[in-house]
């Protein structure tokens, strides 16, 4: 498979929402270990807004921009800020109605770069970055022109990154106040972002 179309991307968002809804309670329970327990609700709201905003999209740049603003207008909190930044960063690095492997790599790097402007958290801090950074890096390393390989590599890296947060101590944001108590539980955000990226891959591979 050589190109990602706008309709395929919309289907990926819908699949991500569907998979995230199935695990909403799990994400909230993980957030409750070291936070306020709202992450399941927050990520479902963000993806719902994304799916809705994408509906009438005809090309990548304006659709991703609508998604980014849609997420930020309809939801609030860090999940909204970070996912909104992700889609807006993608919008700045995508154009046209279909993307090849190089175009997808550029789009996802743009998304990550914009998230990195919103948070100082990096790998090892037990946040979404533990899933997102390895996923985007794995994508960049893929040499295949088959776009399914890109998403597969990203999904595997995101899942491994999320699993690694189980052994980490939170040292970012409010969660750092709980220190040792966070060890033994995966980060809610890394888990939900891994779920989203995994759903992107599932959608395109099946
Ligand atoms: Mg929370």
| Integer Cα distance of 31 and 155 in angstroms | 22
Q: Mind listing the pLDDT tens digit for each residue in 8-63?
A: 999 999 999 999 999 999 999 999 988 889 999 999 999 999 999 999 999 999 99
84 C-alpha to center of ligand 1: Å? Answer: 16
CB 21 within 8 A of CB 46: no
Alpha helices in 142-187 (DSSP H): 147-164
On whether the CB atoms of residues 72 and 115 are closer than 8 A, the answer is no
Instruction: Identify the three-state secondary structure at position 185.
Output: coil
b (16+ CB within 10 A) / e for 127-160? bbbbbbbbbbbbbeebeeeebebbbbbbbbbbbe
Q: Are 153 and 141 in contact (CB under 8 A)?
A: yes
- Cα(205) to centroid of ligand 1, in Å? 32
pLDDT of 49 reads 97
Q: How many angstroms separate the alpha carbon of residue 77 from the centre of ligand 1?
A: 8
Q: How many residues does the structure list for the chain?
A: 206
DSSP class of residue 27 equals: H
- Determine the structural domain holding residue 88 and report its residue range: 4-205
Q: How far is the CA of 31 from the centre of ligand 1 (A)?
A: 6
Q: How far is the CA of 33 from the centre of ligand 1 (A)?
A: 10
The DSSP symbol for 166 reads G
Q: How many domains would you assign to the chain?
A: 1
187: CA distance to ligand 1 center in Å? 11
How far is ligand 1, taken at its centre, from the CA of residue 35, in Å? 5
Nearest-angstrom CA–CA distance, 84 and 160: 24
Predicted model pTM: 0.97
Tell me the CA–centroid distance for residue 1 and ligand 1, in Å: 38
- Residue 84 sits in a domain of what CATH number? 1.25.40.340
The rounded distance, in Å, linking the Cα atoms of 74 and 141 is 35
User: In degrees rounded to 5, what are phi and psi of residue 32?
Assistant: -70, -20
Per-residue pLDDT band for 182 (boundaries 50, 70, 90) equals: confident
Give percent of the chain above pLDDT 90.
Answer: 89
Nearest in space to 75 (alpha carbons), one of 41, 51, 25:
41
pLDDT surpassing 90 at residue 100? yes
Can you read off the two tokens belonging to residue 206? 């099946």
**How do residues 111-161 score in pLDDT, each as one tens digit?**
999 999 999 999 999 999 999 999 999 999 999 999 999 999 999 999 999
Looking at residue 175, what is its pLDDT?
67
Q: What is the distance between the alpha carbons of residues 164 and 41, in angstroms, rounded to a whole number? A: 23
CA 37 to ligand 1 center in whole angstroms: 5
The residue that leads in pLDDT, 109 or 176, is 109
32 DSSP assignment = H
Say how many Å lie between the CA of residue 97 and the centre of ligand 1. 35
């Amino acid at each position: 498979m050589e190109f990602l179309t706008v309709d395929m991307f919309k289907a990926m968002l819908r699949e991500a929402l569907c998979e995230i809804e199935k695990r909403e309670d799990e994400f909230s329970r993980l957030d409750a270990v070291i936070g306020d327990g709202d992450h399941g609700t927050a990520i479902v709201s963000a993806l719902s807004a994304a799916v809705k905003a994408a509906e009438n999209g005809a090309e990548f740049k304006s659709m991703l921009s609508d998604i980014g603003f849609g997420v930020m207008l309809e939801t609030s909190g860090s999940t909204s800020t970070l996912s909104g930044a992700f889609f807006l960063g993608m919008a700045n690095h995508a154009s046209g109605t279909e993307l090849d492997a190089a175009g997808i790599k550029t789009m996802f790097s743009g998304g990550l770069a914009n998230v990195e402007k919103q948070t100082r958290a990096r790998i090892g801090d037990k946040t979404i970055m533990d899933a997102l950074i390895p996923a985007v890096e794995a994508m960049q390393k893929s040499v295949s022109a088959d776009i399914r390989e890109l998403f597969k590599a990203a999904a595997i890296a995101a899942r491994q990154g999320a699993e690694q947060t189980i052994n980490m101590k939170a040292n970012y944001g409010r969660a750092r106040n709980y220190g040792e108590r966070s060890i033994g539980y995966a980060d809610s955000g890394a888990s939900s972002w891994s779920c989203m990226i995994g759903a992107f891959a599932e959608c395109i591979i099946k």
